Structure 1
């Protein structure tokens, strides 16, 4: 069972890192979006490995479902090149700097984990979903409402900008 957990951890890690590399390095916004979705699904798998199925479901429902669909609508409403190359040409040194920025945190975190291992790892106390929901909705209900207003304003702004660009192109 422990071997299967390690294999699943490696698979989810590869999903997160591979999706992140694709999201950052893709020329096309749609391919970058696919990389983001892949990375977010890998994070949901990590939540499953931590025995937090509710968090994994929320990761898929909120980020993969809602936020990625919102970003995809923004991509569809934007005026992109027909070849899918929105970022233009790349400078040769830019790839090296981005690779260095991608690899350096992994080395720093790895060094800290190897040199400063904790004495013991306590298992967290499992919180029932009813208590978690009550705590979130009692203390943070305003934050949930503000998030929905921000998402609505972003979508309305994207639609408004798309119609303005379309009106100028027709003239």
Structure 2
């Protein structure tokens, strides 16, 4: 029973890592968006492994379905040139710092998992949907509403980019 879970974890981990490198390393913004979609789908798979099917469904519905479509429309509205600033490769020191920043959470969490190996073997309890909804609308209402503000600002930024490019 443990081997399929380890294989699934390895698969989702691989999807997340490949998607991350694709999202960060591609010169094409559309290909970088495909990497972001792969990463978010891998995170949804991790939610399934955590016995949280509702969170996995919301990950796909909100992030893959809504956020990535929003980013795609922003890219299409901005009409970025293939040889623009975003197509330039990142300098080596910046890439190295990015890799170090990506490895930092693993380096911080590894000693905890080594000292407490039983914590990694626990099966998470499934939270009822009513409790999850209550917590989102009562305890976490401010962060929940701030997400909509971030979306509004990103769409306003995309519209400003379009107007700025049309003026030139």
Tell me the TM-score range normalised by the shorter chain: 0.7 to 0.9
When the two chains are superposed, the root-mean-square deviation of aligned CA atoms in Å is 2.7
Alignment map for 1:123-142 (pairs within 5 Å): 123-141=123-141
Task: Please say if residues 28 and 84 of structure 1, whose CA atoms lie closer than 8 Å, have aligned partners that are also in contact.
Answer: no
Q: Which runs of 5+ in 2 are unaligned?
A: none
CA shift in 2, pair 1:103/1:163, >3 Å = same
**Partner residue of 2:50?**
50
CA-to-aligned-CA distance 1:134-163 (integer Å, 9 cap, x gap):
232234445444432442343133123313
Question: Counterpart in 2 of 1:91?
Answer: 91
Q: 1:112 deviation in Å?
A: 4.1
Whole-Å separation in 1 of the counterparts to 2:12 and 2:135: 30
Question: How many residues are treated as equivalent by the alignment?
Answer: 167
Q: TM-score by structure 1 length?
A: 0.79
Q: Who is 1:154 aligned against? A: 154
C-alpha distance in structure 1 between counterparts of 2:103 and 2:122, whole Å: 30
Q: Measure the CA separation in 2 of the matches of 1:68 and 1:59.
A: 11
1:76 aligns with 76
Please report how far the alpha carbon of residue 77 of structure 1 lies from its aligned counterpart in structure 2 after TM superposition: 2.0
Give matches, 1:13-32, under 5 Å.
13-32=13-32
CA displacement, residues 72-112 of structure 1 (integer Å, 9 cap, x when unaligned):
22222224223577232443444444444444554453344
Which one is further off, 22-31 or 105-114? 105-114
Unaligned runs of 5+ in 1: none
Asked which structure has the greater RCO (Cα within 8 Å, sep 6+), the reply is 2
1:33-56, CA deviations, whole angstroms, 9 ceiling, x for partnerless residues?
111111111110011011110010
* Equivalent-residue separation in structure 1 for 2:94 and 2:147 (angstroms): 35
Which ranges of 4 or more aligned residues in structure 1 deviate by more than 6 Å?
A: none
CA contact (8 A) 1:27 1:84 kept: no
What is residue 60 of structure 1 aligned with on the other side? Answer: 60
